[in-house]
Amino acid sequence: MANITAKQVLWYIPNQIGYTRVFTAILSFFLMAKHPIWTTWIYGVSCLLDALDGTMARKYNQTSGFGAVLDMVTDRSTTSSLICYLCVVFPKYAPLFQLLISLDLSSHYMHMYATLSSGGASHKSIEKEQWLLYLYYSRRSVLFTVCAFNEIFYLALYLYSFPQLWHFSLPIFGSTHVGAIIGVICLPGYVFKQIANVIQMNRAAMLLATKDADNANLKRT
């Protein structure tokens, strides 16, 4: 059997799906300012493909370190880019959005780096004592649902920036924008995601500090 080459790894089926995610995300960025409906659909496709690449990787035994990094970088880049647009249309809340971007990027980078530098095979391998993170990463249905709610919440805010879009008449509240309705529905999952980010950042800090302490103690012996 011939050896697998680096070029073959780059063109694994799940990695091709990852490239498609990158393309659709970039396309949505160019449409974002003037075409909310097209943007929502195309950005949504990019996010939905996130659930497909892992399935294909397992089905065809094509898991790879490159694919894992591509997946995470694409996740963080697409979300951050959408939040950047929200900073433009909702400038009053820009500091909050900046904090959310910082939390998302730093928690995931620290978590992956801490896990790999500590000898872990994957940032999704969580000890059961970290019950919330364990629930989040060990059950694909929970991971998919929470991530979907997180992305849809930001898309709801994006849609809300277009006041000409659909409004629905609700009891008590009266005429309500579709973005507001979707945002309220997704809010619990969104909050869960932010709490998970804080917890995984704390876990990463402890893993790194523990490793540093162990190394420092070895040097003293």
Per residue in 48-97, pLDDT (tens digit) is 888 888 888 888 888 888 988 899 899 999 999 999 999 999 999 999 99
Whether 212 is a known active-site residue: answer: no
Query: pTM (2 decimals)?
Result: 0.86
Dist. CA 5–CA 10, nearest whole Å: 9
Looking at residue 144, its pLDDT comes to: 84
- Which segments within the chain are labelled E, that is strand? 167-170, 174-177
Looking at residue 194, its pLDDT comes to: 94
Asked if 187 contacts 153 with a C-beta cutoff of 8 angstroms, the reply is: yes
Under-70 pLDDT residues of the chain: 1, 119-131, 166-174
Catalytic choice (50, 53, 75, 104): 75
Looking at residue 124, its pLDDT comes to: 58
Nearest residue to 146 via CA among 126, 132, 130, 125? 132
Looking at residue 126, its pLDDT comes to: 64
